[in-house]
Amino acid sequence: MSRLFQDHYNDALSQDEQQWLHRVRELCVDTIGPGAAETARNDTFAWNTFRLLADAGILATAFPRQYGGSDARQQLRIRLIEELGRVCSAAASMVTGADLSARAIVAGASGEVKQELIPSLCTGRIQAAFALTEPGAGSDVRGLQSVAVATNSGYVVSGRKKFITRASTSDWLVVVARCRRTATSGQKDEEPLVALLIPCNAPGVRIGPETGKLGWYGVPISEIELDQVSVAERWRLGAEGEGFSLAQDALVRARLGHASMALGRAIGAVEIAATYCNDREVFGKRLGSHQGVQWMLADMVTQIEASRALLANAAAAYDRGDPQSHIQASMAKLHATDLGMRVVTDALQLTGGRGYLQDFPLERFFRDAKLNQIGEGSSEVHKTVIGRDVVRRARESDRHPCLDANRLATDW
Ligand SMILES: Cc1cc2nc3c(=O)[nH]c(=O)nc-3n(C[C@H](O)[C@H](O)[C@H](O)COP(=O)(O)OP(=O)(O)OC[C@H]3O[C@@H](n4cnc5c(N)ncnc54)[C@H](O)[C@@H]3O)c2cc1C
SS (H, E, C) 10-55: HHHCCHHHHHHHHHHHHHHHHHHHHHHHHHCCCCCCCHHHHHHHHH
| Cα–Cα distance, 151 to 122 (Å, whole number) | 32
pLDDT of residue 187: 63
Locate the ligand 1 atom nearest the alpha carbon of residue 139 and give its number.
29
Whether the CB of 179 sits within 6 Å of ligand 1: no
Locate the ligand 1 atom nearest the alpha carbon of residue 101 and give its number.
8
Q: For 40-51, write each residue's pLDDT tens digit.
A: 999 999 999 999
Ligand 1, atom 45: nearest CA belongs to which residue?
A: 380
55: pLDDT strictly greater than 90: yes
Percent of the chain at pLDDT exceeding 70:
98
> pLDDT grade, residue 190 (50/70/90)?
confident
| Cα–Cα distance, 352 to 273 (Å, whole number) | 10
Q: For 209-224, write each residue's pLDDT tens digit.
A: 999 999 999 999 999 9
pLDDT of residue 303: 98
pLDDT of residue 185: 53
408: pLDDT strictly greater than 70: yes
Number of C-beta neighbours around residue 92 at 10 A: 30
Q: For 293-314, write each residue's pLDDT tens digit.
A: 999 999 999 999 999 999 999 9
The whole-number average pLDDT for the span 180-199 is: 81
Number of C-beta neighbours around residue 387 at 10 A: 10
| Cα–Cα distance, 42 to 349 (Å, whole number) | 25
182: pLDDT strictly greater than 80: no
The length of the chain is 412
Q: How far is CA 72 from CA 17, 76, 80, 253, 401, in A?
A: 8, 6, 10, 12, 42
Please, what's the b/e burial string for 238-267 (b: 16 or more CB within 10 A of its CB; e: otherwise)? bebebbbbbbebbbbbbbbbbbbbbbbbbb
Ligand 1, atom 32: nearest CA belongs to which residue?
A: 139
Q: For 143-161, write each residue's pLDDT tens digit.
A: 999 999 999 999 999 999 9
3-state secondary structure of 158: strand
Q: For 20-36, write each residue's pLDDT tens digit.
A: 999 999 999 999 999 99
Locate the ligand 1 atom nearest the alpha carbon of residue 137 and give its number.
26
Whether the CB of 371 sits within 6 Å of ligand 1: yes
Ligand 1, atom 52: nearest CA belongs to which residue?
A: 163
184: pLDDT strictly greater than 60: no
Whether the CB of 133 sits within 6 Å of ligand 1: yes
Locate the ligand 1 atom nearest the alpha carbon of residue 379 and give its number.
47
* Residue 379 alpha carbon to ligand 1 centre in Å: 10
Whether the CB of 53 sits within 6 Å of ligand 1: no
**Cβ proximity of 170 and 201 under 8 Å:** no
188: pLDDT strictly greater than 80: no
> pLDDT grade, residue 406 (50/70/90)?
confident
Q: For 347-371, write each residue's pLDDT tens digit.
A: 999 999 999 999 999 999 999 999 9
Q: For 265-286, write each residue's pLDDT tens digit.
A: 999 999 999 999 999 999 999 9
Whether the CB of 164 sits within 6 Å of ligand 1: yes
Whether the CB of 221 sits within 6 Å of ligand 1: yes
User: Which amino acid, one-letter code, is at 221?
Assistant: I
| Cα–Cα distance, 91 to 85 (Å, whole number) | 7
pLDDT of residue 377: 96
- Among 100, 101, 127, 133, which is best to mutate for testing ligand 1, by the most ligand atoms less than 8 A from CB? 133
Domains of the chain: 10-123 (1.10.540.10), 128-240 (2.40.110.10), 244-396 (1.20.140.10)
- Among 43, 45, 103, 139, which is best to mutate for testing ligand 1, by the most ligand atoms less than 8 A from CB? 139
Whether the CB of 30 sits within 6 Å of ligand 1: no
Whether the CB of 327 sits within 6 Å of ligand 1: no
* Residue 138 alpha carbon to ligand 1 centre in Å: 5
> pLDDT grade, residue 234 (50/70/90)?
very high
Give which of 126, 141, 136 is closest to 63, Cα–Cα.
126
3-state secondary structure of 383: helix
